[in-house]
Each structure stands twice: as structure tokens, then as C-alpha cells.
A and B are shown apart, each in its own frame.
Chain A
Amino acid sequence: MRVAVMATCLGDALFPEVPRATVRLLRRLGVEVEVPPEQTCCGQPMVNTGYLEEAVPLVRRTVEAFAGVDAVVVPSGSCAGSVRHQHRLVAQRAGDGALQEAVADLAPRTYELSELLVDVLGVTDVGASFPHRVTYHPTCHSLRMLGVGDRPWRLLSAVAGIDLVALPQAGECCGFGGTFAVKNAEVSVAMGADKARHVRETGAEVLVAGDASCLMHVGGLLSRQRAGVRTMHLAEVLATTADDAAGVV
């Protein structure tokens, strides 16, 4: 099976370890991985801030870059959600029938990482090993926009050596919210402070989530607090094997 990785702009530019781990994990599972070089950004930051017009060229680029591949995997709940649920709006705005068709064609081929692993590849034990105390935050868009349910939790539970602890009030938003994080920075931080407190309550050394953006927010708070908790993307934990587990944290 051939799968194209959508690195996302944030993953490409700021958190390259996330798409890299995705590539490595999929290859270990015997998947033939592609990274279409023309990809840039799905347009979500513009759409969610109301700049629909500005998102049109980005959506166009995205559907062109991923045309013809069997499946697209996105290590981000919110970007997968954008492709599946928001591109339609952008294509409508462009008033371009061909774009509308291309968007409708890409949406059902696009999977968030845990969806691809569990639903398409049919694995929950990916052969990872991660002997650390971990808690998991289900990000809003993976939980409520995509409905990934307990897939990430099942994947993490199957990791060898992991000490997985439930996060209190896990389903509550961390307060990132894209440009909300700067437009309403104080509210964003107030929400993040509560999320960080719950993370610390678990005694976990690693906070895991499926969106690098939310981790950047909560991780930024935890770092500022000198909380001694690191953040890792789900892909990074699942990519770690017994060979390298010792050196990771």
C-alpha cells in the first residue's frame, strides 16, 4: 500500500520530528511512503481566521499535490479535519467546479494518523516500546471534528513498557485555538494553565497528543513552569522501538 504523508506546514517548518516519525513508523509497518514535494499548507489557519479568499490557492495546491495517491495520512487532527470538512467551503467560495470535485475526491482519502493505523492498516500494536509514564490529551478536532474516539488510546496502550495514565478532564480544550492563542492570549493561557495543571496531576513525564499545535501551546506553558514534563506527538511515541527507547527521553 502506498501512503502519502501530509507533513502540515507546522510539522514541516517547526516540528519536523513529527512527520519524520510518521515516515519511520509507516515504513516499519511495511507501508510504501511518499512525500509529495509540492505540498505546503492546507489553508486551515486562514479559514479558521475568516480569510477564505486567501485559503483558495493553498487548497488548490493541496489537492494538486495529493492527486492520485491511494491514501493521505496527516499527523494532525485539525489539519485532517480541515481537509475533510473545510476545503468544501473554500472551493465553494472559489466558485470553481473542478476544485470542488478535487476537494470532494481528496476528503475521503485523507486520514488522521490513528485512523490510518487502526482502520486502514488494521493494527493497534505497532511494535513500539516506550518505558515512560505518559498521559494523553485528545485534541478537540481529532475528538469532536473527526471522531477518532479511543483509537489513539488503544494504540498507546499497546506500546511495550508504557505507563499510560488517564488525564483528568481530558476532553476539555487546551485553549490553543489557532489564532485564538494570540487574539485572545489571556483566555488561551488561562485554559492552558488548567490543562497543564491536570497534566502535572498525573505525574506523567510525557504529554502525548495528535496535534503539534496544541502541544506547542501546553508544552510552552509546561516549559515556562519548569514542570519537567515534555511533550511528544503520538507519531513519535509510536515510532520509538526497544532499540532506541533508552535514548529518547
Chain B
Amino acid sequence: MGRTFVGMPPFPVAAQAALADTTLRRNLAHATATIRAKRAGVVAEVEDWEDLRVQAAAVKDATLDHLGEHLLTLEASLTARGVRVHWARDAAEACRLVGDIALGHGLEEVVKVKSMTTAEIGLNEALAERGVAAWETDLAELIVQLGEDLPSHILVPAIHRGRAEIREIFRARMAAAGRPAPADLSDEPAELAAAARLHLREKFLRARMAVSGANFAVAESGTLVVVESEGNGRMCLTLPEVLVSVVGIEKVVPTWEDLDLFLRLLPRSSTGERMNPYTSTWSGVTPGDGPQEVHVVLLDNGRTRALAEREGRQVLRCIRCSACLNVCPVYERVGGHAYGSVYPGPIGAILNPLLHGVGSDPATDALPYASTLCGACAQVCPVGIDIPGLLVRERVAVVDAHRRDPRPKAEALAMRAGAWGLGDARRMGLAERASGLVGRLPLGRRMPGGRRGLSWLPFPGSRWTGARDLPAPPRESFRQWWSRTGRDEGHRP
């Protein structure tokens, strides 16, 4: 346990290593293609899907516009139902709060419901430092935890693993964490799931405290909502005496009616199901039934920073469905680890810069560039986040943050030179005449279609020609052709 993304190389470097991992490439291509097809199928069934997306975006925006009020309503409703509400400015504060509660009860272990928010704040590692073991109970999280691995997908953290690898992890690691895997464990999915079930059952029955996140928090009634597939989350939410939920402040929805909208959008977008198997809702303490001590930690950790951005705040609409990851051609090829964050893929490429700011950490600065801007993500996002638009805006933020660097990057110099050369038709024409002279040289070899192509250029051109031929410059630019002949010529240029 305890690996984190801290200190990982920036995306372009990490992606190269990932591309060379053939097992990863195969597992991801298969998994994402399957889930894409499922999603497309169930989304096509909903006639007013586009309307739902527009409504959901509007509800989120309206809520974010008055976030303070809704959070106070939520706090009041929660408190009225016997919940102890805590506010955490950042990851350290949130982790300290959760650790204090566990240690206050003299506990050495807690069970966990799958939660992105607790992964974001590094809760497991923080608890481990204080001598509290946090056991993941979601099957995929369990695989990641036992394998001392890092999550690579929002919804399916072990998406990069194949079943043979999972069998090995279970056989090698389960014993140290509790009930061992059967000696004759095969890689049949049903057997793997059964092994995990027996292993986890022990922990559920022993645990006195659970930690969860929440998919939604309904302000009017003080209700938290967790949406899941396995039922392991519900075990955690109902069996232990103490329940602590770490909830990002953007998770608040004003009413149950609003919730209804998101519960229709989320499962179809994320797992490609019409409805998810388990939707747990709880509103505070019910005497004699379920956890008798309930805490909610409301987490900022950069969310108010994102909220302050006029366009950027729409990132807080995100309901972590992971549809954008599954359709992303970049994610499909490099997987989640290359993004160096628990939030990978298109959402990670905008969320991390917006939560933490740009200009100081090269890994964060590289994220908005980890995209071709192909726009596939924006088409599937159930809450209509303009992901490509925000990627461009965050690129602008990165460039602006470095404008005063004492030594500008080569890219910045190239862009300035390019803008100057292209800034005037005469200058551009002169450059074209010069390149036309190069075009007269018998360089390279003939490409299909007759143009000559270059197969080698010195750095930085080698970044292109390493794998791709490049057409040699034409003898005559369009501009030259037009002034020579195009202007007057009839129909036969």
C-alpha cells in the first residue's frame, strides 16, 4: 500500500512507457471498446437524451452559481438529522479529520466504499501513517490495493489489468491482507469474484467504521447518495457503527427532483446500464438501524479555485461517470497512469489544472496538452462540459503563466517567430519563395501521388519524421500560382 502519483514524469514521458506495454494496450482497447458499445446502446434508447443533458447542465450551473447557500442548507439538513458536519479546506485537513475520528474510537482499521474523493486526498496513505489500515472493498479497488498499484480509471480503477494478472495478485497478496485466496484459484471471473467475496466478508463483519464518498448530496433533505454495482458499498454503509463520508462541495444538488435527473444520466453514461444495481441513500442517523455515528466532511481542495473561473467552473458539473475516458482515443492507448493523477483522461486533463492551478508543476502543465482536441469527450459528457474548449483555455493559462520566465521555451520562441512570419502576406510570400527553392532540389523519394517526401529531418523535425514522411515543399506556393496564372485563368488552372 502507499504508492502515489507524486514524482511521476509528465504525460509525454509517461505515455511513451505506457505505449510500449502490450498487455496494457490490449486490455484497454478491449475494455473501452466494450463499454463504449454498451453506452451507445443504452443512450440510444432514451429519446430525450439531449434534453436531459441540457437540463442537467443547467441544474449544475444554477447550483454552482449559489453554491454557498446550497451548502448551508445541506449542512442544516444534515445537522438536523444527527450528522456531524466538518468543513475541510484541503486534503491534509480532510485526512486529519477522518484520522481523528478513527483514532478517537481507538480503531486500527476502516473499510472503504469506492470513492474518488478519498483517492484524490490520499486518505489511505494518510491513515496508514497514523496506524490505521483502510481496506478497499470495491473489487477493482481491491485489485489495485492488493497489487500495490495505482488506479487508472475513475470507474474501473483496475481496467489495465487482465484476469490472469488478477489471479496472480490474489494468490500472491490476499494472505497478507486477510483471508487467503484458494490455492487452486483459476482466472475464471466467477472464481475471482468468489475469492474476493470471501476475503471481503471477513472485513465487513469485523469493521466498526466505514469511510465513503458520495455521488450526490441532496441539500433539502440532507441525504447522501452512493451509486454502485457490487453491493459492497452498501455493506460498508450499513454494517459498521461509525460512518464518515468525504464529499466534494460540488456534489450538492438542491432537491430530490434534481437528483432524479442525474440518476437517469449516470448509469447509462458510466457502466452502460439502464440502472445501476445498488443506489444507497441515507439521511443521518436512524436509531437502532445502521451506523449510529455519522460524519460528513465537506471538501474544498481546489474546488473554490475552479469555481472562481468564469468558464472553467463548468468542470464542477462533472459527475465522474468516466464516459469521456472511455471514448478518448488518447486514453485508450496510454491508460490512466500516464496522467499522473487519480483523475485521468479528458476530465483529468482539465480538472487537475483547474483545481490546483498551472505554472508551477510541469506535470500539471503538460495535462491540457494530452489531447488532440478531437471532441469525442464533449459528445458523450452527460452534463455537457465543453472539454475541448476548456483544454484550450487551460493551455492558454499554462502559456500565460510562463510568459515571464527568464528563459522562454523553444516552443514559445517558435510560436512568436511563426506569428511574425505569418503576420504579413509579404513576409509569408518571401518565406514561400525560399522554401520553393528547396522544393526544386531532388530531395527524398517519391510518395504515392508523385510528391517528393522527406524521411529524415534533424531535431525538432525528427519528432515528425521519426515515423512519418513529410512532403517536400512545393516549387510554387498557392500564392505564387495565383499571381502568376490563377487570377486570369479560366477553368483550367
Contacts and interface: CB of A to CB of B under 8 A. Distances in A.
Interface stretch (B163-171, B199-207, B235-243, B416-424): B416-424
Interface string A171-215: 111011111111111111111100000000000000000000000
Contact of B425 (A24, A40, A217): A40
A52 B394 CA distance: 11
B107 interface: no
B15 A140 contact: no
Contact of A181 (B334, B422, B464): B464
Interface stretch (B55-63, B93-101, B252-260, B474-482): B474-482
A249 B423 contact: no
Contact of A14 (B369, B455, B471): B471
B458 to A, nearest CB: 14
Interface residues of B, number: 74
A20 to B, nearest CB: 5
B471 A216 contact: yes
Contacts of A192: 467-468
Contact of A140 (B373, B435, B477): B373
A172 B333 CA distance: 13
Q: Is the interface of B mostly helix, strand, loop or mixed?
A: helix
A45 to B, nearest CB: 7
Contacts of B412: 51
B16 A186 contact: yes
B399 A180 contact: no
A16 B476 contact: yes
B44 interface: no
B82 to A, nearest CB: 49
A144 B396 contact: no
> Which of B418, B449, B464 has most A Cβ within 10 Å?
B449
Interface string A219-245: 111111000111110000000000000
A20 B392 contact: no
A13 B330 contact: no
A232 to B, nearest CB: 7
Interface residues of A, number: 78
A184 B339 CA distance: 13
Interface stretch (B112-120, B279-287, B374-382): B374-382
Given A20-B493, A57-B419, A185-B467, A11 B478 contact: yes
B13 to A, nearest CB: 10
A38 B330 CA distance: 38
A35 interface: yes
B478 A19 contact: yes
B72 to A, nearest CB: 34
B89 to A, nearest CB: 30
A189 B468 contact: yes
A233 to B, nearest CB: 11
Contact of B468 (A20, A35, A221): A221
A176 B411 CA distance: 18
B65 to A, nearest CB: 21
B491 interface: yes
Given A16-B474, A28-B491, A223 B448 contact: yes
Contacts of A89: 392-393
Interface of B: 11-12, 15-16, 19, 329-330, 333-334, 368-376, 378-379, 388, 392-400, 403, 411-412, 415-416, 418-419, 422-425, 428, 431-432, 435, 447-449, 453, 455, 460, 463-464, 466-471, 473-474, 476-479, 481-483, 486-487, 490-493
What are the 4 closest A-B residue pairs judged by CB atoms, nearest first? A177-B372, A220-B468, A50-B395, A173-B374
Given A17-B474, A49-B415, 17 more contacts: A9-B422, A11-B478, A23-B486, A35-B486, A40-B424, A41-B422, A48-B392, A140-B372, A140-B376, A145-B375, A180-B372, A181-B464, A182-B464, A185-B464, A190-B19, A223-B468, A232-B449
5 contacts: A57-B419, A58-B423, A140-B376, A172-B329, A191-B329
